[in-house]
Amino acid sequence: MKKRYLFGMGLMLLFGIQAMAQDQVIDNIIKEARDNSQLKSIGHELMDGIGPRLVGSPQMQKAHDWAVKKYQSWGIEARNEQWGEWRGWERGITHIDMMEPWVKSLSGMQLAWSPASPKGGAMGEVVIIPDLADEAAFKAWLPSVKGKYVMISAPQITGRPDYNWEEWATEESFEKMKEERTELNRAWNERLQKTGQGRRELPQALEDAGALGIITSYWSQGFGANKIFSAYTKKVPTVDISLEDYGMLYRLAESGKKPKIHLNAQSKETGVAPTFNTIAEIKGSEKPDEYVMLSAHFDSWDGGTGATDNGTGTIMMMEVMRVLKQVYPNPKRTILVGHWGSEEQGLNGSRAFVEDHPEMMDKIQALFNQDNGTGRVANVSGQGFVDSYEYLGRWMNKVPREITRDVETTFPGNPGGGGSDYASFVAAGVPAFSLSSLSWSYYNYTWHTNLDTYDKIVFDDVQNNVIMAAIMVYMACEEPDMVSRERRIPLGRNGEPTEWPSMRSPTRKGGMD
C-alpha cells in the first residue's frame, strides 16, 4: 500500500512538473509575441518594400527570396521549392487622362497580364457597346470600333454602398434604387448576350476589330473599391476604371459628347517564370519525421499590395515561426511552414506540395492555415475529423481566454473542398484546419481590390492570432501520440451523404494559353 502511495505521489509530482514546464513555454510565447512583436516591420518589408505578389511576376520571386533570407536571419532553415512554371509579366505605369470634352486624370489601372499600350500611349474616342438586335448586328457594328476604346461593363446607378443607403435613405427610395439597379444589370447582361460573345471572347473580338483598348469597371460594393483581376486581351490593353470615372465616361458617351481619353498602360512580358513554394522548418528533437504545419498562401492579386489577402496570413505565420524558434527551439516534432504560390489560380502551390510529398501526409499531426483577412480568429471547424473536438479543444483551452472567448467552433464539421490551401491537405486525409477570421469588411473593401494595402492591417488582431497559432502548434508538437484521423461521412446541403473531397493535381504550367 505504501509503495503504491509513493508511486502515485511520484506520478503526480512528475505530471505537475510537466504541466509547470508546459505553462512556462506558453507564458513565454505570449510574452515574446506581445513584448517583441515583429509584425509591423515584417509587414512593411513585404507589403511596402516588395509589393504585390502576382504569380510569375518578378515581385513574387523577390518575395520568395526575401522570405528565405528573413527566416535564415532568425536561425530557421528555409528553402524555395519549385513546383511549376507560369507566364512571366511585370506591371508598369498606368496613366489614364480624359482629354475631351474637358481634361481630367482618371482613376484606374491595367488588369493583370494586360498587353501594353504603344510607347507613350494612345488617344482615342470612348464608345459603348450599343444595344444591338443580335450577333449578326454585332458583327456588322464591329468595324466601327477601330481606333477607339470600348466600354464593356455595366455602369452603376449609385456609388454608395447599400449600408450607406440604409443609414440615410427613406425606405421607399432605397427600394426604388435596388429595383432600378436590378433592371439595369438585367438589361446590360441581355445586351452582352446579344453579341454572341462570352466573357472571355468579347474583349478578343473587339481587339481583333482594331479597338485601341478595353475599359472595364468591377465595383466591389464599397467606397473607392474595385476588384482587379486579369485581362483577356492578347494585343491591346485592358484597364479597370473607378466607378465614379467610369460612370462619367459612360454618361458622356451615351449622351453623344464623344469623350476621348489618352491611355498609357505599360507592362512587360518576361517569358516563362519558375514558380515556387517557400518552406521553412524547425527540426524536431524526438520525432523529427513527424510534422506540425503552418500554412498561408504567399501570392496575391496586384490591385493593391496583397495586405489582407494574404499578407496578414503570411506575416502571422512568419511571426509564429520566429516566436517558436525563440522560446521553443527544440520541438518534439518538426515544425514546418508552407508559403504557397498561386493559391489565387486554384491552390496550385499547396496541391503541388501534397502531390510531391506523399510520404509526408500520414506524418503530419495537424496543419493550421490562415487566409481570409486581418481580423482575429472567429471560426474553427473540425473539417470532418471525428475526434477533432477532443484534441483541438484541449489545445485551444491553453490559449488565453480573451483570445478564444468569441471563437465559434463546429465539430466535427464537413471537410472543405476548396477556398484556401488547407483543403489541399484535407483531401489527402491530413487534419488541416482553417483559422477563419472576422471580416473587417474584407469582401467589399480588400478582397482582391485596389484597397488591399498595409494601412488595412489590424495588428492587434494579427498578434492575437499569432499567440493562438503558436500555442496550438506547441501543444500539437507535445502531444504524446499522433491524433486520430477518423473521418465522418460528409453531408451535403440537403443532408444526404456525400464523398470526401478528392485530391486534385495542380496546374503546373499556367497563363500561357
Cα angle for residues 334, 336, 337 (degrees, 5° grid): 165
Would you place residue 125 in the very low, low, confident or very high pLDDT band (cuts 50, 70, 90)? very high
pLDDT in tens, 289-336: 999 999 999 999 999 999 999 999 999 999 999 999 999 999 999 999
Note the pLDDT of residue 14: 46
How many Å apart are CA 510 and CA 230, to the nearest integer?
13
Inter-residue contact 260 to 142 (CB < 8 Å): no
Contacts of 163-166 spanning 24+ positions with Cβ under 8 A: 164/223
Whether residue 36 is predicted with pLDDT greater than 80 in this model: the reply is: yes
Cα angle for residues 51, 56, 57 (degrees, 5° grid): 35
Note the pLDDT of residue 13: 46
How many Å apart are CA 233 and CA 66, to the nearest integer?
33
151, 284, 339, 382, 383 from 422: Cα distances, Å: 39, 22, 12, 12, 10
Note the pLDDT of residue 6: 46
Note the pLDDT of residue 9: 45
Q: What is the mean pLDDT of the chain?
A: 96
What is the pairing mode between strands 77-100 and 104-105?
antiparallel
Q: Select from 413, 408, 410 the least CA-distant residue to 378.
A: 408
Q: Select from 264, 231, 253, 257 the least CA-distant residue to 150.
A: 253
Note the pLDDT of residue 88: 98
**What share of the chain in percent tops pLDDT 90?**
94
Q: Kindly report the backbone phi and psi dihedral angles of residue 263, in degrees, each rounded to the nearest multiple of 5, phi listed first.
A: -115, 125
How many Å apart are CA 374 and CA 56, to the nearest integer?
25
Note the pLDDT of residue 162: 98
Residue the block writes with cell 480573451: 402
Cα angle for residues 298, 412, 287 (degrees, 5° grid): 60
Would you place residue 22 in the very low, low, confident or very high pLDDT band (cuts 50, 70, 90)? confident
Cα angle for residues 92, 96, 99 (degrees, 5° grid): 150
pLDDT in tens, 489-512: 998 888 889 999 999 999 999 998
Q: Select from 448, 442, 421 the least CA-distant residue to 341.
A: 421
125, 128, 247, 249, 253 from 154: Cα distances, Å: 18, 10, 9, 12, 13
Whether residue 169 is predicted with pLDDT greater than 70 in this model: the reply is: yes
pTM assigned to the model: 0.94
**What share of the chain in percent tops pLDDT 70?**
96
> Of 208-217, 377-386, 398-407, 485-494, which gets the smallest average pLDDT?
485-494
Inter-residue contact 330 to 480 (CB < 8 Å): no
What DSSP character marks residue 487?
B
pLDDT in tens, 423-465: 999 999 999 999 999 999 999 999 999 999 999 999 999 999 9
- Region 66-70: what's the mean pLDDT? 99
Inter-residue contact 69 to 77 (CB < 8 Å): no
Residue 352 half-sphere exposure, CB side, CA atoms within 13 Å?
Answer: 26
How many Å apart are CA 129 and CA 189, to the nearest integer?
12
How many Å apart are CA 79 and CA 107, to the nearest integer?
40
How many Å apart are CA 402 and CA 214, to the nearest integer?
51
Note the pLDDT of residue 19: 67
Task: State the cell numbers at 252.
Answer: 458622356
Would you place residue 243 in the very low, low, confident or very high pLDDT band (cuts 50, 70, 90)? very high
Would you place residue 421 in the very low, low, confident or very high pLDDT band (cuts 50, 70, 90)? very high
Note the pLDDT of residue 8: 45
Would you place residue 5 in the very low, low, confident or very high pLDDT band (cuts 50, 70, 90)? very low
Note the pLDDT of residue 10: 47
